[in-house]
Amino acid sequence: MVLLVGVVMLLPRPAAAAVPDPTEQFRPFLDKVTETLADPGLKSLSKPEQSRRIIGVVRERFDFREMSRRVIGQQWRNLSEQEQNNFEALFTQLLQYAYVGKIDEYSGQQVQFTQQRIRGDRAEVQTLLVDKNRSIPVSYIMLLRDDQWMAYDVIVEGVSLIRNYMEQFSEILRKDGYPGLVRQIEEKITQLEQEIKKN
């Protein structure tokens, strides 16, 4: 039986059919995001409601657990499952409120897909966010989960969202430890909540 399993594992596998195309999976997702942002009904909602609606769409193709794991690095392994779940919820909420203000900046920009790179279970889909005046390069870094490509980082004009938070969090972890990081994230979320309620 062991020999049989070994032989099966050594058999050649059809490479082309084995890995789904990341661009083809991501294209309808980004179409849905731009359609949601362009929906006139979105602007009639309160800022908290807008943020909840957008994050609901974003969850379909973003792996917030992977994002959470990466932004605190080795510290992740020291957390219990409950602590990991709590941190994921906190970090997701931070992103939700931190970027809700960007909704008003959308004015019909279109997404152009330029190229993709695949290496094993990792992929990068490169796009341009295009409007009348300029084109902004935006890359999505993805991980293959079963047969679904899930994004865990966004690189805008060469700046990585995950690296940016990772550098901030690393400094806080060094000075104040994990409890200090959680406290600062909670305080930032409270501040952002108050700001968006005023608008």
| Distance of alpha carbon 87 from alpha carbon 76, whole angstroms | 9
Q: Mean per-residue pLDDT for 176-181?
A: 96
Q: Which pLDDT belongs to residue 49?
A: 87
Does residue 97 carry a pLDDT above 70?
Answer: yes
Q: Which of 7-21, 61-75, 116-130, 160-174 has the lowest mean pLDDT?
A: 7-21
Of the pLDDT bands very low, low, confident and very high (cuts 50, 70, 90), residue 13 is: very low
Q: Token pair of 98, please?
A: 């931190």
- pTM reported for the whole predicted model: 0.85
Asked if residue 146 lies in contact with residue 155, where contact means CB atoms within 8 angstroms, the answer is no
Of the pLDDT bands very low, low, confident and very high (cuts 50, 70, 90), residue 122 is: very high
- What are the chain's domains? 21-198 (3.10.450.710)
Q: Is 84 helix (H, G, I), strand (E, B) or coil?
A: helix
Nearest to 22 by CA among 123, 156, 128, 110: 123
Q: Which pLDDT belongs to residue 5?
A: 41
Give 62's DSSP letter. B
Q: Which of 12-21, 50-59, 102-111, 179-188 has the lowest mean pLDDT?
A: 12-21
Instruction: Mention every residue, 6+ apart, whose C-beta is less than 8 A from residue 46.
Output: 197
Kindly state the helix (H) or strand (E) to which residue 130 belongs, with its residue range: strand 122-130
| Distance of alpha carbon 189 from alpha carbon 183, whole angstroms | 10
Q: Which pLDDT belongs to residue 57?
A: 93
Cα 125 to its chain centre, rounded Å, is 13
Looking at every residue in the chain, the average pLDDT score rounds to: 88
